[in-house]
Structure 1
Amino acid sequence: MLSSTEMRLYQTLKKKFYPMFEFKQRHNVTTGRQDNLLDCIVHAAITDDFIENSTQILKSREKDVPAPRTIRYHLEKLEIDEILRQESKISEELYRMVEKQRWFVNKVDLSIDTHDWMYYGDTDDEMVLGTQAKNGTSYAYKFATINVVERGIRFTLKALPIRNYSEICNVVEELIKYAMQKVKIKRIYLDRGFYEVPIVRMLKRLGVHFVIQAKKSTGIMKVIEKNKDKKVIAVDYKMKRKRKAPSGKEDVKLFIIPHRRKKNERVCFVTNLDVNEKNAKKYAEGYRKRWGIETSYRVKKEAFRPKTTSKNYAIRLFFFLFSVCLYNLWILINIGLGLALDRRKPEKPLVTAKMFGNLFIAAYDIGGLT
């Protein structure tokens, strides 16, 4: 049984969230109203299922549910720029909720992550890129997110699609510039996919502190061999571009530590921080913790995203960005409930992802909210 505080929180968030979407519906629509469309999408998202199955389940609960083709029709009508604009508006509103509570008033750590949505259609289709092979395909739609990672909580500030590999540096820069308008940045953590000279150069130009997990290039392997008697290595290093190009090198600090679980394995990082053999492990530990590993709030990348076999990019983009917004709402619910119950920000979620989704769908029904 929900308390009155919990009920109001769900109702308030849903009342704010749903009207932010625009499906170009007529004012006199009688079937497939926007709130019912979104209920179906939310249900598919939190159950990791297809829209077709979610509509059937919600019908069994005597809800006014549109047909799956009606939902697809409204999604396919959306333009790419329109979807991005709506996501930006919603992200701004969700952050305003965070800002009012002053949750990120101090300097915060950020992480930038890439997300692959594996693709099984024509490899020449719009926005499809080659990627590491997985589940029988080596093609995917790719997205990038920038996240506040404090006390194990990953709150996504912004998400963007990656249209081609040549623009990854520009995408990362856009994400960071957006974050700089919202929060004070302590450090930015990036995985091996961002280990590139142009990205390091851009991070330096923006004046942010960064830690990037490095790929074991020939140059780094030489450093390891040269210092094989050292348990921890911290040296000045010159990154080089794969292809010969003007100004194709960049000075960084390279630090290398033993792998936590694999004997004789090393983990390598580059940074512009003042790192040495004594504090290298501290920075590596910061990378591991801030990346979200082993925290209760880290969920698989597919969480909160409906399944689909559609080759329509508008549907794919909408579902991905919708999942980011829904994830942030889940974070807001848990932090909000924790503070409402006179607790600090909870280290573990008070409401599971699935419970959140079911209660969110029911929020208009509970208490008769209209």
Structure 2
Amino acid sequence: MLQAVFEAALNFTSIEVISDLKRGSPSADTIRGHLDWKVALADVENMMKNRVKWLVTTLHRKFGRTSFEVAIDWTPEMYYGNKSNPFINGTQPKAGTCWAYEFFTVSIVVDGGRFLLFAYPLYGRENLLYYVNRALLFLRKLRIFASMLYFDRGFRSTDLFAYLQYEAKIPFITPAVQDDKFE
């Protein structure tokens, strides 16, 4: 069972995707049930941070700099299992379901490509400022400084925009919401 967890972490995907790809492996719900209260989120975070540190060291050597454009996305992984799972959020209907695991993903953008650094589970749409601030602090620990932040539409928050503009002083771009008055 832990093999599926580690494969998902190393491939930056969900346990559900890994269990679907490998015949005979337990379902994501079964794995979660066996791991409930046995593995601390902090331990998993530390394993991922060590993996990311190795990746960042390689990126620093390859590109010879510490300032990068950073993309922050809200990424759903559609879910078809038991909706009472505490990590499942309601989302826009897609592929026959309106439930998903939702992740906050952070990537650096280099030469038109992206390097995914980490993904963090989201437990709702509140506290966007907390998640972004936590990501920026983690990036600083890795000696990565954001020269520009790119957000998708999931990050529309006046508190977040005010923080980035006036306190963090990091330029950012986010898509505008279009309505019938927008030309």
TM-score interval, normalised by the smaller of the two chains: 0.7 to 0.9
**1:119–1:137: 8 Å Cα contact kept in structure 2?**
yes
TM-score where L is the length of structure 2: 0.73
Matched, 1:103 2:71: no
Aligned to 2:154: 193
Distance change (3 Å), C-alpha of 1:82 and 1:152: farther
Matched, 1:157 2:126: no
Helix, strand or coil at the partner of 1:173: helix
Aligned to 2:100: 140
Aligned to 2:44: 86
Deviations 1:236-260, CA, capped at 9 Å, x for gaps: xxxxxxxxxxxxxxxxxxxxxxxxx
CA distance in 2, matches of 1:194, 1:78: 30
CA distance in 2, matches of 1:192, 1:162: 15
How far off is 1:187 after superposition?
Answer: 0.4
**2:71–2:107: 8 Å Cα contact kept in structure 1?**
yes
Aligned to 1:359: none
Which residues in structure 2 correspond to 1:1-370 (within 5 Å)?
37=3, 41=7, 51=19, 54=22, 68=25, 76-77=34-35, 79=37, 82-99=40-57, 102-104=61-63, 105-182=65-142, 183-204=144-165, 205-217=167-179, 221=181, 224=183
TM-score where L is the length of structure 1: 0.39
**2:104–2:121: 8 Å Cα contact kept in structure 1?**
yes
Q: Larger RCO: Structure 1 or Structure 2 (Cα < 8 Å, ≥ 6 residues apart)?
A: 1
How far off is 1:191 after superposition?
Answer: 1.2
Amino acid at match of 1:142: E
How far off is 1:156 after superposition?
Answer: 2.2
Deviations 1:74-120, CA, capped at 9 Å, x for gaps: 98225486245324333333423432552352421000011112233
Distance change (3 Å), C-alpha of 1:120 and 1:98: closer
Helix, strand or coil at the partner of 2:62: coil
In structure 1, runs of 5+ residues without a counterpart are 1-22, 24-33, 57-67, 225-370
- Which protein shows a greater Rg? 1
**1:110–1:187: 8 Å Cα contact kept in structure 2?**
yes
**2:79–2:100: 8 Å Cα contact kept in structure 1?**
yes
Helix, strand or coil at the partner of 1:103: helix
Quote the sequence identity (%): 21
Q: What stretches of structure 1 move > 6 A for 4+ residues in a row?
A: none
Determine which structure has the larger strand proportion and give its number.
Answer: 2
Distance change (3 Å), C-alpha of 1:196 and 1:216: farther
How far off is 1:194 after superposition?
Answer: 1.2
How far off is 1:127 after superposition?
Answer: 2.6
Deviations 1:110-134, CA, capped at 9 Å, x for gaps: 0001111223345443132221111
Helix, strand or coil at the partner of 1:165: coil
Q: Let me know the Cα RMSD of the aligned residues.
A: 3.6
- Count residues with an aligned counterpart: 173
How far off is 1:211 after superposition?
Answer: 0.7
Deviations 1:20-59, CA, capped at 9 Å, x for gaps: xxx8xxxxxxxxxx7xx369957xx79x966487356xxx
